[in-house]
Every structure is written in structure tokens, then in C-alpha cells.
Structure 1
């Protein structure tokens, strides 16, 4: 009888211990899911990056959800990388980015005049600007994390690649950026070899409502010489945003083998994208130059060269345009 009672007691004790063990395991699992206190589950902590740029340092959350972009080169890069944005300046959207005119994208003003109220209503996780918005940096920084990703034309390719790597880091697109940059560098190498082998020099000008400005190495259009390989017909042009005011006589005096023309009026005044500079440029004086005689006056697409530039798509298209012009 005593043995039976002992066995019964041991059996009950074993069952109780097993049950306690199960409860403890369930409690531990719940604690792992809900936190130490077993309360509400905690949202994963977003990774924060510190981005160093020309205007300072900005803390940015990785893979930001709401992005406002003011630079069209950066916009075409994000589009190439499959990254969506929340707001863009729709006033001067180039045709190749016309999808961003859709109402699903907030219109955040113009390139020179951001709509601070609209931007604030978006509550952006990231704002990306370049030179045209530089003066608004402090105000935009009050609204949301703001970074400057304009291209430094004195070191165009290094600056361009740094900007693209920054995008890759922020949006977790490093591999895609590396591949696209490799493709662009390969096409540039082929163009440079072709331009160098031609032995021809070049002059690049900006035509603007009857006025003409020339640009040399290190300038906003200096990529033609510094990267693409064309010898500058005049290497003494001072680097400036607006270029050197020139006359038709200057073009005749320099007598370039190639004359590349960026027509500002086609995108800013007419908005048509069609060149309105031909009558200004191809006058009786300029017709005496080698460039005209050899059919080497080339009208570049101002949407890539003037409005955007510095983007994965725009730089690629700039390379294609210049290569197509070389015989």
C-alpha cells in the first residue's frame, strides 16, 4: 500500500514539473516576441546613416519612405534604380522624366523656388538638392533631413560616382549602382579613345536668347574635355557658372573643328526641347569656321546637358550624343 502511494506521488510530481517547464518555455517565447516585459511588440529600429556632403553632415534613415528630389540627374538615377519618390518640382520636368508629371507625385515648386508649405505637408524622410536650391538648404533642413548631391564639375566623374554611391548606400542599391557605373565608364572609355584619335579640338557654348557663352575645361560643360577627350580649342576660359560671354568673332578666331551647342532657350523659354539657337549660331561669320564647313556644329539635348546632367541616365545619354557626332 505504501509503495502504491509513493508511486502515485512521484507520478503527480513529474506531471507538475513537466507542466511548469512548458509554461516557462511559452513565457520565454512570448518574451522573445514581445520584449522583456512581455508587452506590445517593438518595431524594428531603422538603420541611420550619416551622410557627408558639400553643405555639411546629415543623419538619414536607410531606405527612406518619403523622398523629395530637386535635382533631375538624381531623379533619373533613382528612377533607373527603381526607387520611388514622393515629390518633385514639376515646373520644368524634362520630357524624358515626364512620368513624374503625374498627379501621384506632389509638386514641390520649381528648381529655384521650393514650395516649403507643400514640402512640409509631405513630412519627407529625405530631401535631395543640388546647386539651384543651395540657398534654401537651411530652410529645407528644418523640414526634413536634407543632403546636397550636386556634381562638382572640376572633378566631374569622381563627384558623379560619389553621388551614385551615396544613393546606393541610402537605398540599399550598391550592386545596381556598381553595375551601371561600370557600363557608363566602359562607354566613356570608348568615346575618349575615339575623340582622342580624331585629333580634333572643340568648343562648347551655351546659346541663350541671342547671347552666347563659352565654357572650357573644369566648367559645367567641361566634361566634354575633361572626361570625353576632346581637346579644348581655348583652354584659358575662366571657370564660372555662366561661362564667358563671347561674340561671333571669337568663334571665328578660335576656329574650332567641332562646335557643340547647348540651347538654354529651348528648355527654359519655349519649353519645346527644340533648338531655337540655329539662327543665332549659324551666321555668315561662323559659316567660315572648320566646324561649319565640315558639318560639325552639334546641337546637344539641353534636357540632359542643361536641366539635368550628373545622373545615371543623363550621363549615359550625353556620352551617346557626343559619340554619335564624331565621324
Structure 2
């Protein structure tokens, strides 16, 4: 984990400070008092310490708020696709969707800070006019470093950095257990189904941590590194013939009607693979993988899901 620790130390040196010298790129907090300067993906934000009114527009960030015992600070979330395991936030104000947040509604809530990432990052400029906005988007090329850095950014607002360190240790433990299970488990292929179509994801993709961090040997290394994966056919799956498959149902993740992943993959070509024959197809929690991603609690759950699929 040395690369992640080194990246975090470098990032933290730039992140925390009393904001007498925020610079031109800093977005000021609305009123006086002690502030924290947070350097993020799109600039620097000056945020009042211990904010009590937080709008969160990314489910991974929301997971970090919960993990750090800060659920009561959240006043607004995108409710439409809120994962079932985040149901404690369903009574918060609905502030639109992940991609299309309701800026007017958010302004009415007068938040102390807005936390965004991933799908909501494109709305940074509009949201930043409402309140200090922090972009905690994850880096798919180094998701664990991003996880720790982003969780630390949230923790610095409340002086909870030590709690992040303790929880990262739990993440590391879960990952090591999964790596151990992967050593003699054969090859794996990561698939996503959407609208009846199939995409495959390799080591350098958004789901690459299954290979890069969890240790599953890729059944096919040369897949296109793209957010949408590489479109593949049933013939491709049969030819690749993985020992195991890990499947994400995008339609289920976003609550869209469509053919389930199980039905899409239930055909003669897929059924003759080693994974299907030996009942080694794991249907992952789609919301965890497609909507939430690498955050403190969720990464542990993702590692445990993959470990279960390696048994």
C-alpha cells in the first residue's frame, strides 16, 4: 500500500490549512470563523470548520459521511437512485439527480458546503456560485488512493483524520483477504449488462480494482480502457472461457426496466464456459459497483463480495 500512502501524504500537504492565504482559486465560505482550505479536483474551497448543512451529490462521498459518523450533517441528496443500503438518507431533501442536480433547490437550502464527484462534477461552476463546492471525484487509475484522499478531505472538515486512518486499515485487511482468496482461483472476467447488451472491463478500467487490487487474474488483459467498457458478444465470452465471472447489472443499479443480467447471460454460448458450468458467476451488488464505488465502507463490502465469488 506504499503508493497509496505516498500519494495521500503529498495530497494532504496541499489540503489542510487555516485559510488566510487561500489564493485566487479559492471559493470563500459565506461567513467568518475558523475555516479549512480544501484543495480538490477543480480548485480550492474555503469551508467553515464543522459545517452543519451539507449537500452531497455523490454516493461514494455520502458513504464516507456515514462511515465518519456525519450522517446528521447531510441535508440534501439525489434521491431518485439512492441505493437501498443508504436508505437512512431518504428523508433528506431531494436535490435532483447525480448528473442534473437542482441548483435552485440547493440554493434554497443554503448549505455550508456542497460535496460533489463523478457524475455531478460537470456542474461544479453552477454549484460553486451557491456555496463552497468540493469536487471529490475518484481517479479510476488509482481508486484506493482516491478513496483515502477523498475521505481525508471530508474528515479534515471535522477533525476526524484519525478515524479515516483506522477505517483504511479495515479496508486494507479486507483487500488482503480477497487477494489471498484470488491466488488459486483461476481467471476472472468482469461484465456489465445494460439494455440487453454486454460490456467487458479489464485491469485498466473503472472496475479494474477487481484485478489490480483484489488480485483476480484477468481472463482477457487487452480490453479497451473506457468508462463504458468494451462491447462484447456471447461468442467473445465463450472464447475467453473464464473460470469466474463478476457481473454488474446497470439497469438494476439505476432502477431502469430491462432484461436482467441473469437472463442476458443465460444462453448456450455462455452456459458452456467454465464459469457457468461450475456455477462461478457472481452477480455483484450493482449499486455498490456502478453508483457508489470506492469509499470507506463500500470498498470493504466490494472486497467481501469478490472474496465470496472466489470461494
TM-score bin, normalised by smaller chain: 0.7 to 0.9
Matches within 5 A, 1:1-327: 46-83=33-70, 84-102=73-91, 105-198=92-185, 200-270=186-256, 276-327=260-311
CA distance, structure 2, for counterparts of residue 271 and residue 59 of structure 1 = 42
On the 8 A contact 1:74/1:310 being kept in 2, the answer is no
CA distance, structure 2, for counterparts of residue 235 and residue 248 of structure 1 = 18
On the 8 A contact 2:198/2:233 being kept in 1, the answer is yes
Give how far 1:304 is off.
0.6
CA distance, structure 2, for counterparts of residue 146 and residue 203 of structure 1 = 37
Give how far 1:218 is off.
2.3
Q: Which residue of 2 aligns with 1:13?
A: none
Give how far 1:174 is off.
1.1
Provide Cα deviations, 1:169-217, integer angstroms capped at 9, x if missing partner.
Answer: 112111211111111101111111221233x111101101210011111
Provide Cα deviations, 1:72-127, integer angstroms capped at 9, x if missing partner.
Answer: 1111221121112111111111100111111xx21111111110111001111111
On the 8 A contact 1:155/1:218 being kept in 2, the answer is no
CA distance, structure 2, for counterparts of residue 269 and residue 179 of structure 1 = 34
On the 8 A contact 2:192/2:247 being kept in 1, the answer is yes
Give how far 1:45 is off.
5.6
SS at match of 1:92: coil
Give how far 1:307 is off.
1.4
Structure with higher helix content? 1
CA distance, structure 1, for counterparts of residue 184 and residue 268 of structure 2 = 30
Provide Cα deviations, 1:15-47, integer angstroms capped at 9, x if missing partner.
Answer: xxxxxxxxxxxxxxxxxxxxxxxxxxxxx9632
On the 8 A contact 1:65/1:125 being kept in 2, the answer is yes
SS at match of 2:225: coil
CA distance, structure 1, for counterparts of residue 251 and residue 176 of structure 2 = 31
On the 8 A contact 2:254/2:287 being kept in 1, the answer is no
Q: Which residue of 2 aligns with 1:28?
A: none
On the 8 A contact 2:121/2:137 being kept in 1, the answer is no
* RMSD between superposed Cα atoms in Å: 1.7
Give how far 1:64 is off.
1.2
Runs of 4+ deviating beyond 6 Å? none
CA radius of gyration, larger in: 1
Aligned length: 279
TM-score, with normalisation over the residues of structure 1? 0.82
TM-score, with normalisation over the residues of structure 2? 0.86
CA distance, structure 1, for counterparts of residue 164 and residue 254 of structure 2 = 31
Unaligned residue ranges in structure 2 (runs of 5+): 1-30
